[in-house]
Amino acid sequence: MNLQSTAADETFRKEVADWMQAHLVGKYTELKHRGGPGDEEADPTMRKEWERKLAAGRWTCVGWPAEAGGRGLSIEQQVIFHEEYARAGGPGRMGHIGEGLIGPALIKFGTEEQKKRFLPGIVAGTTYWAQGYSEPGAGSDLANVQTRAEKQADGTWKVTGQKIWTSLAHESEWIFVLARGEAGTKGNKGLVFLLMPLAQPGIEIRPIKQLGGGNEFNEVFFDGAIALPENLVGGVGDGWKVAMGLLEAERGVSTLGQQMHFMHELDLVIAAARATGKDKNPQVRQRIAHAWCGLRVMRYNALRMLSGDSTSLQREAIIGKYYWSNWHRDLGKLAVDVLGPLADVPSNDPAIRPLQQLFFFSRADTIYAGTNEIQLNLIAERGLGMPREPRPAA
Amino acid sequence: MDFSLNEDQIMIRDAAENFLADVSDSAAVRKAMASERGYDESVWQRIASELGWCGIAVPEEHGGLGLGAVEIALVQEQIGRRLLCAPFFSTVCLAANVLKEAGSAAAQKQYLSSLAEGSLRATLPLPSDVAGWSAAATSVVATMESGHWRVQGVVDRVPDAANAELLLIFAQTSEGLGLFAVPADTNGMQIITAEPWDSTRRFSRVIMDLHLPMDARVDEPLRSGGLARSLALARLYIAAEQLGAAQQCMDLTVAYTATRKQFGRVVGSFQAVKHRCAEMMVKIEALRSAVYGAAAQAAGDAPTDLLAAECMMARALAGDALFFCAAEAIQLHGGVGFTWEYDPQLYFKRAQASSHWLGDSDALREQIAESLFSSAVHA
């Protein structure tokens, strides 16, 4: 166990910090700490410009292998990049679905043509992606997707159905879609994984207004929309494998960056407590101290996960999502309790607005990417080997 | 940056796990609890001579292994899991720790090698006050009288005192807190031991009016950070023990609910039960990350303020997690969880007893809050 960094890593850390300091300036200053989850609508146009600036500095897709256009950084250096990016207040990444999800899936499962066609646009910050997984009837039970993909005589796929909770679909050019490619199949069998341009006649995007007033999620309706034959990833029936592999690709390196943002939020809460005098309230002090403890726990938990602890069962990874999402939701409530009536009126004050967003959006944290209830099932079944929930035969 | 255990650490952990599963099972713990001394001397001898655990963190120049907080924490985790009855905690986690971090060179030379080989059992007070060592000196005064120290007063909550050959006593001196090494057979010392609900670890009250030689004072006043560091480490070692105990509460519960049947199925297949076990696992793994992280900080070169805050964190989380898991173990065992015969009660009693060692969770969090608001530690 060793928490010291090597000299090379420290040099790299300085390189990232220096680059951020030199480039997150001028008009980009107003993007600092903006655009994260719950704030995805913050100036998408300028954030796309920022993505291209990052790309020019070769700071996109830093964990991808060099032949895919990445930097091929070690896990340690990826962590350092994400930490320094977040520490500098780097804005929420418009390209995160491309860089973190579909890119790695194509690197793993895509054909050479697919890689050549799609990876450069992700690396350059010129092509943006949306994720078409959830459906009204397939939330926690994702394998229940009903969107149909019918193969046409000309080899193309005709897609009909509805996707929901699609982040940033209105800001994206492409969507990857999990659909039923073999009629009559059930569950995770017979699925296909298709890449589709969003700007086509058979696709309609409708925003969903959230409880906090934002619209970063959408419904996407498919009515005979077309996917070209060469845009099928994997074979017919491989959809589930590709979709799951993609969820695993996001294995924790950005977690420490996320925590830097959490730390920034806790700092805002501490500052708010000072400003409102709640820093004298013993219960508030307890909750703030407890939040700090949680932040340290998440950091060490991530370091355990990244060190690939000798045990084959990654217990720390299994609890990760449940822990951070509930921590974050609690911080949201603490934030507005500290603000008191200041939390009740929509505000543009940079000391208040992020905490209001935190309060509302963190309600989604314990729902998306596996609800609390699904997480507890997974922890009990995979972590503790307890009996599995009955599942209907596929 | 590497958070994985090295080969030696894994070996130490596995050896502790195997040895304690063998010598400190439920029957052995209950036998030790009922015995006059409260522990099995033959097991202690094996720990001291065969396994060498007492010398893990003692420097090599004093006959130890020269390892540190990570290795002690790993052993303590296993000790807590099996509720080992032995003077290990008092001798190693308290006495040797304080002497190593805050003792004078002479005192280290005099005591550390026999502490390392386990031939000397020692202890010092374990106050329930978050102030730590200084709280053990509120009713003990040391004055210099013609060429010797006179130490008078009373101190409560000294673990394993009835079995120790050496007591380290904190006392107020004219220039602040002092530490005195007192052989247990010194004239003028009275040790009164109560039988607690958690009889896996006994505490004594020590009443004293002592005349001690000048060299009985063993702290090194120049090493001002040493006492703070030893306090942090003691909290870490308690947290590690609580972690192991919490783990055992969960393991017992998962095993029991996998066999107990109602309504024609094992109760562990009900989601209401699974989710509660999962909640235990979340708290335990979070705590394990906290304990290992704080241990890694202690083994590195963390600033004292940060180390203190992290060890308070580990200790607060551990106290809460252990009580939660022990209470859940009783509940999820159902009726038998309420019996003397089943083990959850042992952990439940340890959970409550240890909840306030060196400060309860609320007090520890208040200290952390103070560090945050005074900017001694940053978010």
Report yes or no on B188 lying in a domain.
yes
Instruction: Considering only the beta carbons, identify the residue of B278, B287, B362 that sits closest to A384.
Output: B278
pLDDT digits (tens, 9 = 90+) for B301-337: 899 999 999 999 999 999 999 999 999 999 999 999 9
Co-location of B147 and B201 in the same domain = yes
A-chain residues near B1 (CB < 8 A): 2-5, 9, 76, 79, 303
CATH number of B236's domain: 1.20.140.10
Chain B: closest CA distance from residue A364 (Å): 20
SS3 label, residue B246: helix
Q: How far apart are CA A314 and CA B107, in angstroms?
A: 45
B-chain residues near A295 (CB < 8 A): 379
Architecture of domain A251-383: Up-down Bundle (1.20)
Angle, helix A7-23 to helix A75-87, in steps of 10 degrees: 30
Sorted by sequence, the CB contacts under 8 Å of residue A214 that are 6+ apart come out as: A38, A39, A40, A41, A361
Report yes or no on B320 lying in a domain.
yes
Co-location of B210 and B257 in the same domain = no
Q: How far apart are CA A79 and CA A77, in angstroms?
A: 5
pLDDT digits (tens, 9 = 90+) for A154-213: 999 999 999 999 988 999 999 999 999 999 999 999 999 999 999 999 999 999 999 988
**Chain mean pLDDT for chain B:** 96
Whether the predicted pLDDT of A250 surpasses 60: no
Q: Which of B120, B145, B173 is the last residue of a domain?
A: B120
Report yes or no: B299 at the A interface, CB cutoff 8 Å: yes
Co-location of B197 and B181 in the same domain = yes
Q: How far apart are CA B161 and CA B165, in angstroms?
A: 8
Cα distances (Å, whole numbers) of residue A141 to A371, A390, B53, B194, B267:
11, 13, 51, 57, 24
Q: How far apart are CA B171 and CA B139, in angstroms?
A: 8
Report yes or no on B285 lying in a domain.
yes
Backbone angles phi, psi at A230, to 5 degrees: -75, -5
Confidence at residue A3, expressed as pLDDT on a 0 to 100 scale: 78
A-chain residues near B278 (CB < 8 A): 322, 375-377, 379-380, 383-384
Section A143-160 average pLDDT: 96
State pTM to two decimals.
Answer: 0.94
Q: Is A285–B9 a contact, with Cβ atoms under 8 angstroms apart? A: no
Q: How far apart are CA B289 and CA A107, in angstroms?
A: 32
CATH number of B202's domain: 2.40.110.10
Cα A110 to the chain's mean position, in Å? Answer: 21
Q: Which of B99, B120, B141 is the last residue of a domain?
A: B120
SS3 content of chain B, % helix, strand, coil (to 5): 60, 15, 25
Q: How far apart are CA A346 and CA A353, in angstroms?
A: 7
CATH number of B22's domain: 1.10.540.10
Co-location of B251 and B328 in the same domain = yes
Q: Which of B120, B145, B163 is the last residue of a domain?
A: B120
Q: How far apart are CA B191 and CA B203, in angstroms?
A: 10
Domain residue limits at B308: 224-373
B121 against A392, higher pLDDT? B121
Report yes or no on B125 lying in a domain.
no
Report yes or no on B232 lying in a domain.
yes
Cα nearest neighbour of A323 on chain B: B282
Choose the CATH number for A7-94 among 1.10.760.10, 3.30.210.10, 1.10.540.10, 3.40.630.30: 1.10.540.10
Domain A129-248 has CATH 2.40.110.10: yes
Co-location of B114 and B143 in the same domain = no
Q: Is A386–B274 a contact, with Cβ atoms under 8 angstroms apart? A: yes
Q: How far apart are CA A281 and CA B19, in angstroms?
A: 48
Sorted by sequence, the CB contacts under 8 Å of residue A111 that are 6+ apart come out as: A230
Q: Which position has the token pair 């607005």?
A: A353
Whether the predicted pLDDT of A356 surpasses 90: yes
Contact by Cβ (8 Å): A297, A266: no
B-chain residues near A1 (CB < 8 A): 2-6, 9, 70, 292, 295-296, 299
pLDDT digits (tens, 9 = 90+) for B93-132: 999 999 999 999 999 999 999 999 999 999 999 999 999 9
Q: Which of A119, A125, A124, A138 is closest to A177 using CA atoms? A: A138
Co-location of B86 and B141 in the same domain = no
Q: Which position has the token pair 């350059």?
A: A124
Co-location of B295 and B253 in the same domain = yes
CB pairs under 8 A between A and B: 166
A-chain residues near B316 (CB < 8 A): 293
B-chain residues near A381 (CB < 8 A): 274
Amino acid identity for residue A114 in this structure: Q
Q: How far apart are CA B161 and CA B167, in angstroms?
A: 7
Of chain B, the percentage scoring pLDDT greater than 90 comes to 94
Cα A363 to the chain's mean position, in Å? Answer: 16
Q: Is A3–B257 a contact, with Cβ atoms under 8 angstroms apart? A: no
Q: Is A386–B254 a contact, with Cβ atoms under 8 angstroms apart? A: yes
A-chain residues near B292 (CB < 8 A): 1, 300, 304
Burial class (CB within 10 angstroms; exposed 0-12, middle 13-18, buried 19+) of A91: buried
Whether the predicted pLDDT of A309 surpasses 80: no
- Strands of chain B (E only): list them: 122-123, 140-145, 148-159, 166-173, 176-183, 189-193, 203-213, 261-262, 265-266
Domain residue limits, chain A: 7-94, 129-248, 251-383
Sorted by sequence, the CB contacts under 8 Å of residue B375 that are 6+ apart come out as: none
Task: Determine whether A135 is an active site residue.
Answer: no
Q: Which of B288, B283, B1 is closest to A307 using CA atoms? A: B1
Whether the predicted pLDDT of A280 surpasses 70: yes
Instruction: Considering only the beta carbons, identify the residue of A76, A377, A384 that sits closest to B254.
Output: A384
Whether the predicted pLDDT of A30 surpasses 70: yes
Confidence at residue A269, expressed as pLDDT on a 0 to 100 scale: 98
Ranges of chain B whose pLDDT falls below 50: none
**Please, which residues 65-124 of chain B have a Cβ atom closer than 8 Å to chain A?**
70
For A379, which DSSP code?
Answer: I
Confidence at residue A39, expressed as pLDDT on a 0 to 100 scale: 87
**Please, which residues 248-267 of chain B have a Cβ atom closer than 8 Å to chain A?**
250, 254, 257-258, 266
Cα nearest neighbour of A2 on chain B: B2
Q: Is A304–B289 a contact, with Cβ atoms under 8 angstroms apart? A: yes
Sorted by sequence, the CB contacts under 8 Å of residue B374 that are 6+ apart come out as: none
Co-location of B67 and B175 in the same domain = no
Number of domains chain B contains: 3
Best A296, A307, A309, A331 residue to mutate vs chain B (most B CBs within 10 Å): A296
Amino acid identity for residue B203 in this structure: F
Chain A: closest CA distance from residue B103 (Å): 27
Q: Which position has the token pair 């005709």?
A: A158
Confidence at residue A340, expressed as pLDDT on a 0 to 100 scale: 97
Q: Is B279–A293 a contact, with Cβ atoms under 8 angstroms apart? A: no
Co-location of B41 and B99 in the same domain = yes
Co-location of B247 and B272 in the same domain = yes
Contact by Cβ (8 Å): B237, B73: yes
pLDDT digits (tens, 9 = 90+) for A66-99: 999 999 998 889 989 999 999 999 999 999 999 9
Co-location of B91 and B187 in the same domain = no
Of chain A, the percentage scoring pLDDT greater than 70 comes to 96
SS3 letters for B30-98? HHHHHCCCCCCHHHHHHHHHHHCHHHCCCCHHHCCCCCCHHHHHHHHHHHHHCCCCCCHHHHHHHHHHH
Chain A: closest CA distance from residue B268 (Å): 6
Sorted by sequence, the CB contacts under 8 Å of residue A303 that are 6+ apart come out as: A3, B1, B3, B289, B293
Co-location of B325 and B235 in the same domain = yes
Report yes or no on B126 lying in a domain.
no
Q: Which two tokens stand for residue B362?
A: 């609320």
* Catalytic residue from among A41, A49, A204, A250: A250
Confidence at residue A157, expressed as pLDDT on a 0 to 100 scale: 98
Report yes or no on B209 lying in a domain.
yes
